[in-house]
């Protein structure tokens, strides 16, 4: 099956950044095309005119991605499902199709349409034999409006639109817990997840959202912050709270996990994380890089290259729960396999 390009979801406002990243990634594998990107639309379409696009690569600024199969415009009000099913090739995937909408001011009201249209479209696709293919492949249909549809295919993991369905725990001290939870789901492989008995350091911990989640996972945590922790964490024997500056703190020996959500320039956080990783003070790290208003893609590339220079493997993304930042997972390569 030839792919015409890629369907890419992103945070509204980052369309130009994602378009530049996608174009550069395509050129690296010898595919030359162009992007359609409208400001604040929350999605980007990369077109490969020769129809030679590979499966979409991992892109930092893409929440979710699919290979573009077909685009439909001006769908008839009374026969949308049949028109889509008639134009798609059979056997695109047997996982349940996802109907998605852009995560934008204009796109969010389409959630109701997608819910109501899902049943009739699923039935039409099944009757046409569209969803009888690879069980590991999912048909994903993005609706910028109710008569415009972009049909793509992707592996069956992830979330519709790249938006995780995470619930805010009642006992968590701040919503930042969702950011770390999403990072662990999306960036950290199953065999590298935090597990009970490991030791962690949380830089810039207060009021303790990330410390709380690590304690829920059974880790002991040293929380570094001049500000106070939530009372239940301050009284937790598995938490050591040190009132210290994140940039000056020195750990006692190696820790399994370093997490950091300190508000600072990305260059400063990169140097701090590089010091811990290069010096063997942390086996793995999850941290945020606050993005500048100008040239965010160049800033991210420079930062990630610096982290790789420490000998760490790196995976990064702008998560749904991120705002003007990206989240990075880095693990020293020698620490990947646990005994």
Which residue numbers are catalytic?
290
Q: Where are the beta strands (DSSP E) in 62-213?
A: 64-72, 98-100, 137-145, 148-155, 199-203
DSSP state of 3: B
Structure tokens at 162: 């790249």
Q: Hey, is 265 helix, strand or coil?
A: coil
**Three-class SS of residue 183?**
helix
DSSP secondary structure, 110-130, as one string: HHHHHHHHHHHHHHHHHHTTT
How many Å apart are CA 286 and CA 184, to the nearest integer?
9
Residue 158, preceding bond cis, omega within 30 degrees?
no
| Cα separations in angstroms, 177 against 14, 162, 201 | 24, 18, 15
Count of other CB atoms within 10 angstroms of residue 336:
13
What b/e readout covers 66-100, taking b as 16+ CB neighbours within 10 angstroms?
bbbbebbeebeeeebbbbbbeebeeebbbbebbbb
Question: Sign of dihedral through CA atoms 222, 223, 225, 227?
Answer: negative
Taking alpha carbons only, the member of 17, 43, 38, 121 closest to residue 75 is 121
Q: How far is CA 131 from CA 70, 112, 139, 155, 270, in A?
A: 15, 23, 8, 14, 45
Question: Residue 9: which H helix or E strand, with range?
Answer: strand 5-9
Q: How far is CA 122 from CA 86, 117, 158, 266, in A?
A: 13, 9, 20, 45
Nearest to 89 by CA among 134, 26, 146, 47: 134
């Amino acid at each position: 099956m030839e792919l015409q390009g890629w369907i890419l979801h992103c945070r509204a406002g980052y369309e130009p950044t994602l378009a530049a990243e996608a174009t550069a990634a395509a050129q690296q594998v010898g595919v030359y095309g162009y992007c359609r990107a409208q400001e604040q639309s929350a999605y980007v379409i990369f077109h490969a005119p020769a129809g030679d696009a590979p499966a979409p690569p991992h892109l930092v600024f893409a929440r979710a991605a699919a290979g573009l199969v077909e685009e439909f415009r001006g769908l008839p009000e009374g026969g949308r499902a049949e028109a889509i099913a008639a134009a798609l090739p059979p056997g695109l995937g047997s996982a349940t199709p996802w109907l998605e909408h852009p995560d934008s001011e204009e796109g969010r009201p389409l959630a109701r349409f997608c819910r109501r249209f899902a049943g009739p479209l699923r039935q039409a696709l099944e009757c046409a034999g569209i969803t009888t293919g690879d069980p590991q492949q999912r048909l994903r249909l993005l609706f910028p409006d109710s008569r415009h549809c972009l049909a793509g295919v992707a592996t069956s993991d992830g979330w519709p639109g790249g938006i995780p369905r995470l619930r805010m725990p009642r006992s968590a001290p701040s919503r930042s817990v969702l950011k770390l939870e999403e990072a662990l789901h999306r960036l950290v492989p199953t065999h590298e997840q935090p597990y009970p008995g490991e030791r962690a350091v949380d830089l810039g911990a207060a009021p303790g959202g990330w410390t709380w989640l690590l304690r829920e996972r059974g880790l002991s945590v040293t929380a570094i912050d001049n500000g106070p922790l939530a009372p239940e964490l301050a009284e937790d024997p598995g938490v050591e709270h040190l009132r210290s500056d994140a940039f000056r703190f020195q750990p006692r020996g190696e820790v399994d996990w370093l997490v950091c959500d300190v508000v600072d320039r990305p260059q400063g956080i990169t140097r701090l994380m590089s010091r811990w990783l290069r010096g063997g003070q942390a086996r793995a790290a999850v941290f945020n890089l606050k993005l500048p208003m100008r040239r965010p893609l160049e800033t991210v590339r420079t930062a990630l290259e610096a982290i790789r220079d420490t000998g760490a493997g790196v995976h990064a993304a702008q998560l749904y729960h991120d705002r003007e930042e990206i989240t990075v997972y880095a693990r020293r390569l020698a620490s990947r396999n646990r005994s």
